[in-house]
């Protein structure tokens, strides 16, 4: 998979890709992530990427021209399956969307900023708009990092134990069951006996029951 990220603040976005699982996925060649600083695509001496909105009103708007230059240049190099705009008015990210996007080959992610982008960018280029929840962030960068993490960890070979993404919370619309590690007795609180039994069918059954119990208690909306 190849991900091209267009942003006015690449420095806000890069560090999540330089540690842990995402770093390893890149090093293993399972995903390529390319950052494009929108300012590098602006024309004129002032490297302007945003401007006041027509009709008046507070807040700057990202201009269509630099974004057009960047996206059009990328599209000349390869075909893109999706051009995604990160915006609080997009559809809310969930595991199903992450699974779907993880199957794509080439995607572009455009990070919104200020009051957003000129509507013509959305009309001309954007195939999908994604939000990470009903609250407002200063820009799309942190949301893009969240989205990329959710997608990249699903790519085959990224997680050590290939089955572990399948047992994630949400993969089957259930929260994950409780987990424990050593010591089995910590200050008098103990690990459920069944987990120490070595009886794997029984352990599996216990985990399913706990997952359901937890979901009913904490997220009953997932069961509808």
Residues that bind ligand 6GU (CB under 6 A): 86-88, 112, 131-133, 135-137, 139-140, 143
Instruction: Name which of 71 and 174 has its Cβ closer to ligand 6GU.
Output: 71
Find out whether 169 and 175 touch, Cβ atoms under 8 Å.
yes
The tokens of 204 are what?
């599996």
Helix and strand element counts for the chain (H, E): 7, 9
Q: How far is the CB of 93 from ligand 6GU (least distance, A)?
A: 8
Cβ proximity to ligand 6GU: between 8 and 132 the closer is 132
Assess contact for 94 and 170: CB atoms under 8 A.
Answer: yes
Of 111 and 211, the one with the shorter C-beta distance to ligand 6GU is: 111
CB of 97 to ligand 6GU, least distance (A): 12
Which positions ≥6 away from 48 have C-beta within 8 Å?
42, 63
Q: How many CA atoms lie within 13 A of 45 on its CB side?
A: 0
CA atoms within a 13 Å half-sphere pointing along the CA-CB vector of 73 = 12
Q: Which is nearer to ligand 6GU, 86 or 101 (CB)?
A: 86
- Name the 3-class secondary structure at 133: coil
Nearer to ligand 6GU, 9 or 174 (CB): 9
CA angle, 119 then 122 then 128, to 5°: 145
Closest contact distance (angstroms) between CB of 216 and ligand 6GU is: 28
Are the CB atoms for 126 and 83 separated by under 8 Å? Answer: yes
Here the tokens at position 197 are 């039994």
Question: What's the min distance (Å) between Cβ of 60 and ligand 6GU?
Answer: 13
Q: How far is the CB of 179 from ligand 6GU (least distance, A)?
A: 29
């Amino acid at each position: 998979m190849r991900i091209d990220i267009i942003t006015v603040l690449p420095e806000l976005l890069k560090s999540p890709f330089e540690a842990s699982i995402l770093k390893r996925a890149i090093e293993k060649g399972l995903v390529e992530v390319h950052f494009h600083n929108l300012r590098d695509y602006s024309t004129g001496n002032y490297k302007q990427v945003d401007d006041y909105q027509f009709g008046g009103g507070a807040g700057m708007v990202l201009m269509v021209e630099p974004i057009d230059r960047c996206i059009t240049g990328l599209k000349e190099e390869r075909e893109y399956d999706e051009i995604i705009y990160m915006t609080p008015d997009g559809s809310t990210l969930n595991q199903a969307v992450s699974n779907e996007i993880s199957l794509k080959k080439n995607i572009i992610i455009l990070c919104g900023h200020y009051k957003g982008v000129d509507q013509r960018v959305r009309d001309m280029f954007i195939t999908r708009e994604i939000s990470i929840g009903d609250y407002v962030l200063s820009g799309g960068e942190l949301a893009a990092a969240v989205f990329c993490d959710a997608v990249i960890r699903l790519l085959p070979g990224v997680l050590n134990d290939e089955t572990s993404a399948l047992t994630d919370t949400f993969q089957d619309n259930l929260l994950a069951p409780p987990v424990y590690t050593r010591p089995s007795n910590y200050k008098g609180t103990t690990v459920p006996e069944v987990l120490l039994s070595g009886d794997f069918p029984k352990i599996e059954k216990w985990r399913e029951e706990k997952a359901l119990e937890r979901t009913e208690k904490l997220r009953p909306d997932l069961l509808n």
